[in-house]
Amino acid sequence: MSSRSPLSSDGFRHEVLTTQAAVRALAPAWEAILQQSPCNRAFSSCSWFLAACRAFPDLSPYVLVARRGTTVAGILPLVRTPDGAAALFTQGTDYADLIAPASDTAVLACLLTFARSRLHEVASITLARLRRDANCLRAATLLDPTLGFRETLPCDGTCPYIRLPTTYEAYVASRSKHFRKSLRRKLRQAARHGVTVCERTPDKLSPSQLPDLFLDLHLQRHGDASYFAPVARQQFAQAALPPLFARGHLRVLALYEQDRLLGLQLFMRGADSLADWNGGFLPEAAPWSPGTLLINEGIRRAYAMRLAVYDLLRGTEPYKASWATDAYHTYRLLLDNQP
């Protein structure tokens, strides 16, 4: 179901999609506008959103759409929550945002204004996991230039990343002497024992097989502490991962000892980045430092793809700090009727 408004004073037609069927019908246009945006190609995809609505039945679509004529110009992909509020979906999501070209300031401002106009229908709207350069925050600044986000918005996460220099060799040279020595040792040890990392593509690994393979290795690695221990989150992965892998929005690196699979790491494609999302490995892989091997190959893959950033995503674990050159912070913006 959707409700469409007449042509507004800003020249856009707005609509609200409230059923999965209506969102599914929008999928081609969603994918097209996503490719023009700075948003993460996986976290902001229609596949990710629909998988969330299927796996978590207490969530329902509340997707705000702006059109120029018949063409979709921007999408704010909200879900309604049991308390009557609306929010960007954030489970398993490191970055969320309004989907539109960053340069299209008219649609950014009009969608946030439209969201505010819906506060008679929802109790509040929470926009979280917003990077400082997010479209949502850019839109808020357009509407209120006095906002100082670093001071007024709560920070809800830190995401270390590597701003990749010209070459892989230049990046490694920028790390500490201890880091370089340890990396060389681990790579030599892996080579001596026939432990290798390679990319698995959809022609070699069926997208339909990926979720079970990933979940099995992840749960073996983390057990009951796994983010995916709850059944609903496993169902989310089952629904979300295959279409993302098939489209190239998700990349897979596999760790092998000879021909035996030891581990997997999944990477989400950003507009100009490769984001290290989640993985797992067998307990007996631990002596080969699988995390180091997979991150190292992920960085090499980012260089091969001519990307600018290797993103380690949310978390302040010491191992991330040893690889990272900088960090993004994510923020939370609340729209409500409070003065």
Each of the 339 residues of the chain gets a pLDDT tens digit; together they read 555 555 565 689 999 999 999 999 999 999 999 999 999 999 999 999 999 999 999 999 999 999 999 999 999 999 999 999 999 999 999 999 999 999 999 999 999 999 999 999 999 999 999 999 999 999 998 887 665 544 457 788 899 999 999 999 999 999 999 999 999 999 999 999 999 999 999 999 999 999 999 999 999 999 999 999 999 999 999 999 999 999 999 999 999 999 999 999 999 999 999 999 999 999 999 999 999 999 999 999 999 999 999 999 999 999 999 999 999 999 999 998 765
Q: Are residues 148 and 170 in the same domain?
A: no
pLDDT of residue 337: 74
Is 314 within a domain?
Answer: no
Strand bridging mode 86-88 / 125-131: parallel
Residue 299 to residue 304: CA distance in whole angstroms: 9
Segments forming the whole domain that contains residue 27: 2-158+329-335
Is 268 within a domain?
Answer: yes
Is 313 within a domain?
Answer: no
pLDDT of residue 151: 46
Is 301 within a domain?
Answer: yes
177-192 helix and 290-304 helix, angle to the nearest 10 degrees: 100
Which CATH number do you get for residue 128?
Answer: 3.40.630.30
Q: Are residues 151 and 207 in the same domain?
A: no
| DSSP assignments along 65-125, one per residue | EEEETTEEEEEEEEEE-TTS-EEE--TT-S----BS-TT-HHHHHHHHHHHHHTTTTSS-E
Is 322 within a domain?
Answer: no
Residue 130 to residue 146: CA distance in whole angstroms: 19
Q: Are residues 207 and 110 in the same domain?
A: no
Q: What is the pTM of this model?
A: 0.93
Q: Are residues 19 and 141 in the same domain?
A: yes
Is 324 within a domain?
Answer: no
**Number of separate domains in the chain:** 2
Is 315 within a domain?
Answer: no
Q: Are residues 151 and 192 in the same domain?
A: no
Q: Are residues 190 and 146 in the same domain?
A: no
Q: Are residues 102 and 230 in the same domain?
A: no
Q: Are residues 214 and 129 in the same domain?
A: no
Q: Are residues 94 and 34 in the same domain?
A: yes
pLDDT of residue 26: 98
